[in-house]
């Protein structure tokens, strides 16, 4: 049925056996309740699919889904920190705790094997590391931190470049008090881009929790495009947002968090029901009565309804497909920042494929500098705005500087002076406007150095809290991308904050 290579830590599945299990007498194409495929929704560059990039996923559990194993197995390592399930075996029934990790990994890197590639992930050719951190369905902070450290320890072995974490710890605490945040910051320091889901409790005023509250992590909130290609009506999802215990404002960016196609776990009752409903929906009217009688138990249709003719049967099936959010035989649409984060992770894979020399700081800088704010929505809820996949990849390809210094740091005081650094290759001029200089855009210009960074060193003002922005080309006011500490600017945007002690 397959073998688990303990030395390599990789699960190898015989594709022929899996392919036999995937031969069905129904269509794989989307139904009329279909959602927009991610690559269409984001107008992503089709020339980049994450090839040569290894993505790691930390989650509750995983199922060896065909979208990850076919047309070729891209799971190069699987690790269960609790030793509950030491290998992935397609012959074993799916468990409830496997659905979340399966859906996050497929959302980012699924091949779309069971939907004729319609719902493939942007990183559909990336290699995958899957790390299970749940124990009997429970996820502890200790196991999340252990999972991150396992990724760090094995980063060179598997060339891990990106880590997706669509789960979190217990509460927002300062970074130094969180074992998860400390592990995430260490991973980033070792060259791993860490992407985390912001959480879904923003409607209650909740802030992000570890690792989404970690300063260097790319925290992803969500938006709702109402399943419309024309982006005229974007609404924010109820993502966690606001200042963390350390004062950083999260999230940095927002990505689609509704109408996301995700796989239904094979072998489950839901899977069989979706197959049956899809089969009936695709059948001509003259076949409906016989099919309905054959499959009425699986689709939970009252037997009496099968005698009422094609219109009644079709109305029941249509209602069931819509209610259960089924968009094709093996997929349904889901929502949550758990899926917004892996979409960003897949964009990062495209960026690194386009430019393997990118550092985590450069990746974050590019993502936020190419994002587009939703004009009518509060900046504090969306960070720098909606992720722009195509523009991020284009800018990634152009990045040619010494990337060890890109992904600048927040302002720092040195020998009585304050140093500001900003990165924008396309800028003609950059100046510093702040509460300590009367917001004068002429008084403190930045100079471009040999690394392509704009830099200004000024005499440190008196102790206190100060707000500032960079002004690009004399007209575009932007907060400091490298400084997470921000406050509302009373004009619908944010000011960056620096504290002098």
Domain count, the chain: 3
- CATH number reported for the structural domain that contains residue 382 in this entry: 3.40.50.200
Interior angle at CA 421, CA 164 and CA 490, nearest 5: 80
91 with 218, same domain: the answer is: yes
Q: Is residue 210 part of a domain?
A: yes
350 with 242, same domain: the answer is: yes
3-state secondary structure (DSSP) of residue 13: coil
292 with 423, same domain: the answer is: no
79 with 172, same domain: the answer is: yes
Q: Is residue 18 part of a domain?
A: no
Q: What percent of the chain has pLDDT over 90?
A: 75
* pLDDT per position as a tens digit, 435-449: 999 999 999 999 998
Q: Is residue 293 part of a domain?
A: yes
Q: What percent of the chain has pLDDT over 70?
A: 93
Q: Is residue 6 part of a domain?
A: no
Domain, as residue range, for 420: 412-500
Other CB atoms closer than 10 Å to residue 133's CB: what's the count?
27
pLDDT of residue 2: 33
Q: Is residue 10 part of a domain?
A: no
Q: Answer with the one of 292, 311, 329 that is the final residue of a domain.
A: 329
Q: Which two tokens stand for residue 346?
A: 């897949």
Torsion angle defined by CA atoms of residues 468, 244, 254 and 373, in that order, rounded to the nearest 10 degrees? -20
Where does residue 129 fall: left (phi above 0), alpha (psi -120 to 50 degrees), or beta otherwise? beta
351 with 384, same domain: the answer is: yes
Burial class (CB in 10 A: 0-12, 13-18, 19+), 1: exposed
Q: Read off φ and ψ for residue 293, nearest 5 degrees.
A: -65, -40
Angle, in degrees to the nearest 10, between helices 389-398 and 337-354: 30
201 with 279, same domain: the answer is: no
The band of 453, judged by pLDDT with boundaries at 50, 70 and 90, is confident
Q: Is residue 3 part of a domain?
A: no
* pLDDT per position as a tens digit, 144-174: 999 999 999 999 999 999 999 999 999 999 9
Q: How do 242-243 and 249-250 pair as beta strands?
A: antiparallel
Who contacts 497 (Cβ-Cβ below 8 Å, separation ≥6)? 247, 465, 466, 467, 468, 483, 485, 486, 487
340 with 386, same domain: the answer is: yes
325 vs 34: CA distance, rounded Å? 9
247 with 347, same domain: the answer is: yes
Cis peptide before 211 (omega within 30 of 0): yes
Q: Is residue 368 part of a domain?
A: yes
Mean pLDDT over each residue of the chain, to the nearest integer: 90
355 with 281, same domain: the answer is: no
160 with 212, same domain: the answer is: yes
Q: Is residue 2 part of a domain?
A: no
Q: The dihedral of CA 156, 102, 251, 123: what is its sign?
A: positive
151 vs 164: CA distance, rounded Å? 11
234 with 284, same domain: the answer is: no
* pLDDT per position as a tens digit, 332-381: 999 999 999 999 999 999 999 999 999 998 899 899 989 999 999 999 99
Cis peptide before 490 (omega within 30 of 0): no
- CATH number reported for the structural domain that contains residue 422 in this entry: 2.60.40.10
pLDDT of residue 206: 85
Angle, in degrees to the nearest 10, between helices 288-299 and 310-323: 40
Least confident of 76-80, 385-389, 402-406: 402-406
CB burial string 344-377: b at 16+ within 10 A, e below: bbbbbbbbbbbbeebbbbbbbbbbbbbbebbeeb
Residue 7 has pLDDT above 90, yes or no: no
257 with 271, same domain: the answer is: no
Residue 8 has pLDDT above 50, yes or no: no
């Amino acid at each position: 049925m397959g073998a688990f290579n303990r030395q390599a830590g990789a699960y190898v599945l015989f594709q022929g056996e899996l392919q036999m299990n995937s031969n069905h007498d129904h269509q794989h194409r989307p139904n009329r309740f279909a959602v927009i495929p991610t690559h269409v929704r984001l107008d992503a560059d089709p020339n980049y699919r994450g090839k040569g990039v290894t993505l790691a996923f930390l989650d509750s559990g995983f199922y060896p889904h065909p979208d990850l194993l076919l047309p070729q197995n891209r799971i190069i390592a699987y690790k269960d920190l609790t030793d509950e399930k030491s290998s992935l075996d397609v012959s074993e029934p799916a468990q409830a705790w496997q659905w979340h990790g399966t859906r996050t990994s497929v959302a980012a890197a699924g091949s779309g094997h069971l939907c004729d590639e319609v719902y493939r992930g942007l990183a559909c050719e990336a290699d995958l590391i899957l790390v299970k951190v749940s124990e009997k369905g429970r996820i502890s902070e200790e196991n999340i931190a252990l999972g991150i450290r396992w990724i760090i320890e094995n980063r060179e072995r598997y060339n891990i470049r990106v880590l997706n974490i669509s789960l979190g710890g217990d509460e927002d605490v300062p970074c130094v008090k969180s074992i998860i945040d400390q592990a995430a910051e260490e991973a980033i320091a070792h060259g791993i881009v860490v992407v985390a889901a912001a959480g879904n409790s923003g409607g209650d005023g909740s802030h992000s929790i570890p690792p989404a509250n970690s300063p260097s992590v790319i925290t992803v909130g969500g938006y709702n495009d109402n399943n419309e290609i024309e982006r005229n009506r974007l609404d924010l999802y109820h993502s966690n947002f606001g200042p963390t215990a350390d004062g950083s404002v999260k999230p940095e960016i927002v990505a689609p968090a509704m109408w996301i196609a995700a796989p239904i776990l094979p072998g489950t009752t839901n899977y069989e029901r979706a197959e049956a409903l899809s089969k009936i929906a695709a059948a001509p009217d003259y076949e409906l009565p016989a099919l309905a009688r054959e499959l009425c138990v699986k689709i939970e249709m009252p037997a009496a309804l099968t005698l009422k003719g094609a219109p009644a049967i079709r109305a029941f099936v249509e209602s069931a497909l819509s209610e259960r959010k089924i968009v094709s035989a093996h997929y349904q649409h889901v929502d949550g920042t758990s899926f917004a984060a892996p979409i960003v992770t897949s964009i990062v894979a495209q960026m690194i494929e386009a430019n393997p020399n990118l550092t985590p700081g450069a990746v974050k800088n590019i993502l936020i500098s190419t994002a587009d704010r939703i004009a009518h929505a509060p900046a504090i809820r969306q960070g720098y705005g909606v992720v722009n996949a195509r523009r991020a990849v284009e800018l990634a390809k152009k990045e040619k500087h010494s990337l060890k210094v890109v992904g600048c740091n927040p302002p720092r005081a040195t020998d009585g002076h304050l140093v500001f650094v900003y990165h924008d290759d396309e800028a003609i001029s950059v100046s510093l406007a702040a509460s300590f200089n009367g917001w004068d855009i002429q008084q403190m210009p930045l100079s471009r150095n040999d690394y392509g960074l704009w830099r200004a060193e000024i005499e440190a003002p008196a102790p206190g809290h100060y707000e500032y922005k960079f002004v690009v080309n004399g007209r575009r006011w932007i907060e400091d991308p490298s400084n997470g500490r921000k406050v509302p600017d009373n004009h619908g945007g944010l000011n960056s904050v620096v504290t002098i002690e």
